[in-house]
Amino acid sequence: MYLADSRSTSSAAAAPNTRSGRRPAVPGTVLALGAVSLITDISSEMVTAVLPLYVVAALGLSPLGFGLLDGINNGVGALVRLVGGHLADRGGRRHKVVAGLGYGLSALCKPLFLFVHTLPGISAVLAADRTGKGLRTAPRDAMISLATRPEHRGRAFGVHRAMDTTGALLGPLTAFAVLRATVDGYDAVFAVSGCIAALGVLVLVLFVPRRITAETAPTATADVTAGATPAATPEPAPTATPATTSATAARSATPAPSDPTLRDALALLRRPGLRRLTLCAALLGLTTVSDAFLYLLLQRELRLPAHLFPLLPLGTAAAFLLLAVPMGALADRMGRLRLFLAGHGVLLLGYCLVLARVHAAPVAVSVLVLHGAFYAATDGVLAAATSEAVPAAHQGAGQALVGTGQALARFACSLAFGAGWSLWGGRRALAVTAVALTVSALVAWAVLRRNAGTTHTRATHAEAST
């Protein structure tokens, strides 16, 4: 495991490899953060795997009531994600501190599920847990972006998401084992989950550097294109002269730029590339059915026993784990936004299979594999695309803006899908969502294609003028 002195003022991962003369594609900081996410996701997915069945079967909530809970799961974190990213960018990039607060809050919430058995109580605990997730997500992704060279960010995010998904794979298995081995299965799951979450916080404190310095700044281009990441071109060092020496001294005498304000963070949306990316992520999020609803549909269609329900996320997690790194590397080559849109096409295919009248186990397996492929092609890829749209000083806020737009949209989707299920039934609600996803994907393709065309024209003019 990668060890880092948390008291150091710069990241060991951010320094070049002095032996080889170049920096590794996946720095040690990314591996350390991946280990934290792996452990934390075991804890989170233990709860996520049993919560739908717990509130619907054990507590008797309606699909609309569960839609409210699932909306909280997706939306509350979005309300604090921008604040978390902004706080992390201030004070010399306090990314680790803010991320630690988020991980710690979520760890404290897991045992509280032992004491709440009503919809308001579960909603409050879940909201606090998701607040912790909202605080930590943007700083974590910002640390990955800052520690990795721009041309390798797709792969770095892929490695991190693969480690994160390993935890998502082990979490339901752990929950399944606890349910089978104990009498009060749900309470035991919540207790074990809290212990594992505390271990994740400990790993963050011990192995993730306190501050991370970017070796190279992100590209100066404000727009995010559908093509590959442009490589940074080093400039020759200027010859030292009395004039340049005095200028350097004058620059060093000037005060350092002030910390970015919340207004500065919101002003990032003036960048056309980031604005279009946020718009498309939110638009597609409005038609992305949550994992819990998808698993409930599969469980009811196949009439699976209740104790097998926690195993359904394993198909998604296994596919995500196998495809995350290859998809990240593919995004670096073919273009991150192209792959992001293609991933939603894969999700649409999964919806169509659920709507098929074939009630067989191979159909369920295929849906779960497509679901995992969707996440592999969109989750880390979107974060890598976002990192190229904002400067290094605003990485936390930039990641938070895109993530907030997407999470709020999924919050609305959960509420709408829960209401649609209560009114029309699950199958018809999914059919409406599939149609909406088709329209949203076409609109997003048109918006991002125009963005790519504008940037290509600008690059052509610049090349002709040189």
pLDDT digits (tens, 9 = 90+) for 10-37: 434 434 444 445 667 788 889 999 999 9
Rounded distance between C-alpha atoms, residue 141 and residue 136, angstroms: 9
Rounded distance between C-alpha atoms, residue 295 and residue 376, angstroms: 18
Query: 61-70, 108-117, 247-256, 354-363: which has the minimum mean pLDDT?
Result: 247-256
- Which alpha helices (H) appear in 152-305, and where do they start and end? 153-181, 185-207, 242-253, 262-266, 272-285, 291-302
Please give the sequence-ordered ranges of beta strands (E in DSSP) within 281-374, or none if there are none: none
0.75 exceeded by the pTM?
A: no
- Which alpha helices (H) appear in 208-267, and where do they start and end? 242-253, 262-266
Residue 256 CA: distances (Å) to CA of 11, 183, 202, 218, 303: 21, 61, 34, 20, 63
**Tokens at 161, concatenated:** 């998401």
Q: Is the pLDDT score of 111 beyond 70?
A: yes
**Tokens at 387, concatenated:** 């990192």
**Tokens at 109, concatenated:** 């919430």
Amino acid symbol at 455: T
Rounded distance between C-alpha atoms, residue 76 and residue 83, angstroms: 12
Structure confidence at residue 122 as a pLDDT band (50, 70, 90): confident
Query: Residue 114 has what DSSP assignment?
Result: G
352-374 mean pLDDT: 86
pLDDT for res 463: 39
358-378 mean pLDDT: 88
**Tokens at 360, concatenated:** 């067989």
Rounded distance between C-alpha atoms, residue 386 and residue 427, angstroms: 34
The DSSP-derived string for 184-203 is: SHHHHHHHHHHHHHHHHHHH
Q: With CA atoms as reference, report the closest residue to 129 among 166, 188, 70, 76.
A: 76
Q: Is the pLDDT score of 374 beyond 90?
A: yes
Query: 115-124, 197-206, 392-401: which has the minimum mean pLDDT?
Result: 392-401
**Helix, strand, coil abundance in the chain, percent, nearest 5:** 80, 0, 20
Rounded distance between C-alpha atoms, residue 407 and residue 45, angstroms: 18
Rounded distance between C-alpha atoms, residue 373 and residue 41, angstroms: 18
Angle value at C-alpha 299, between 295 and 304, nearest 5 degrees: 140
